[in-house]
Amino acid sequence: MKKISILAAVVLAAVMASCGNGTPKADLKNEMDSLSYAMGLSQSQGLKEYLVQRMGVDTAYIDDFIKGLNEGANAGDDKAKAAYFAGLQIGQQVSQQMVKGINLEIFGEDSTQTISVKNLMAGFVAGTIGKGALMDVEEAGAFAQTAMQSVKSRETAKRFAEYKKENEDFMKKIAKKEGIKQIENSGVYYEVITEGNGPVPTDTSMVEVRYTGTLIDGTEFDSNMEAEQPMKIRTGQVIPGWTKALTSMPAGSTWKVYIPAELAYRENQAGEKIKPFSALIFTIKLEK
């Protein structure tokens, strides 16, 4: 038999391996009864795993799932029930995906904080029914983007306050270190390891580089120094601190470059090792 979609499986799976009080009792009096039962049983395969892994259903409450499943399967063409069940499904998605996703984006792993679900739903419902909204959709999108970044920056700064200060203090010390130069009052500092005599790239140049990147404690997070080929990049398509360095150093040079967080990844996590507010140190060899 051709395998059908999980949605169809949900509708057809009137019987699951459960001892719940809502489980229908099979009564196989004829071929159609047996066919119906066999279809329900065969199409339920993998559903329990789907409920747990994709929908977050706790199997301790499987009886409640069976109850809702039976109501949905027996609703027929009842439009009111269809709308209600659709609302339940989307509401669960709002709770388990939207709210959790936004909270994770803003508050990280701090589970004690949350956005206002009440106000989120007020906006969600106003947008759904198309009336009563306190701002139009375009305004809402623009405001949400700006406010999200503002709140995220503020909350991240609180969580990483000590680490942020540690990196800022490091950059202050680097600025006073003998042999260190600053690139045009940019906050990017460097020391020359090898001085090249080739052309200096512009902010649209394609260049070939080798590099090693570390955190201020010496933790290496990336390197292509031993790669067979150098990395080819356009100078204007990297973090701002890199652009500043690449458009200041002659080809053939190797510099050790110190980039403050605001010209790197700012308050954002980058990969597993680069925390928010990390100052970055790169040994950059501009080959061509």
Q: Give tens-digit pLDDT for 82-99.
A: 888 888 888 888 988 889
Across the range 236-257, mean pLDDT stands at: 95
Counting Cα atoms < 13 Å in the Cβ hemisphere of 111 gives: 0
Q: 């949905």: which residue's tokens?
A: 72
> How many other CB atoms are found less than 10 A from the CB of residue 10?
19
Please compute, for residue 195, the number of CA atoms within 13 A of its CA located in the half-sphere on the CB side: 2
Mean predicted confidence (pLDDT) in 12-37: 64
Spatial neighbors of 112 by CB under 8 A, at least 6 apart, are none
Short-list 251, 228, 238, CA closest to 282? 238
Tens digits of residue pLDDT in 237-247: 999 999 999 99
For residue 188, the one-letter residue type is V
Q: Which amino acid is at 99?
A: V
Kindly list the distances between the CA atom of residue 102 and the CA atoms of 49, 105, 144, 153, 156, in Å, as whole numbers in the listed order: 26, 5, 11, 14, 14
Tell me what the pLDDT averaged over the chain comes to: 86
Higher pLDDT, residue 41 or 200: 200
Per-residue confidence (pLDDT) for residue 219, from 0 to 100? 95
Ordered by where they begin, the domains of the chain are: 6-74 (no CATH), 80-158 (no CATH), 162-286 (3.10.50.40)
Reported as a single tens digit per residue, the pLDDT across 49-78 is 888 888 778 888 888 888 888 888 888 788
Spatial contact of 215 and 221, defined as CB atoms under 8 Å apart? yes
User: Nearest-CA neighbor of 254 among 212, 206, 202?
Assistant: 212
- CB of 96 within 8 A of CB of 56? yes
Is the pLDDT score of 22 beyond 70?
Answer: no
pLDDT of residue 7: 41
**Averaged pLDDT for residues 246-274:** 94
Region 33-42: mean pLDDT is 79
3-state SS class at 222: strand
Tens-digit pLDDT profile for residues 104-146: 888 877 888 888 989 999 998 888 888 888 888 888 989 988 8
Question: Residue 12: is its pLDDT beyond 60?
Answer: no
- Can you list the alpha helix ranges (DSSP code H) found in the chain? 6-12, 31-43, 47-53, 62-73, 79-93, 100-107, 117-129, 137-159, 161-176, 240-246
- The pLDDT-based confidence of 4 (bands split at 50, 70, 90) is very low
Query: For residues 171 and 192, is the Cβ–Cβ distance under 8 A?
Result: no
Decide if pLDDT at 196 tops 90: yes
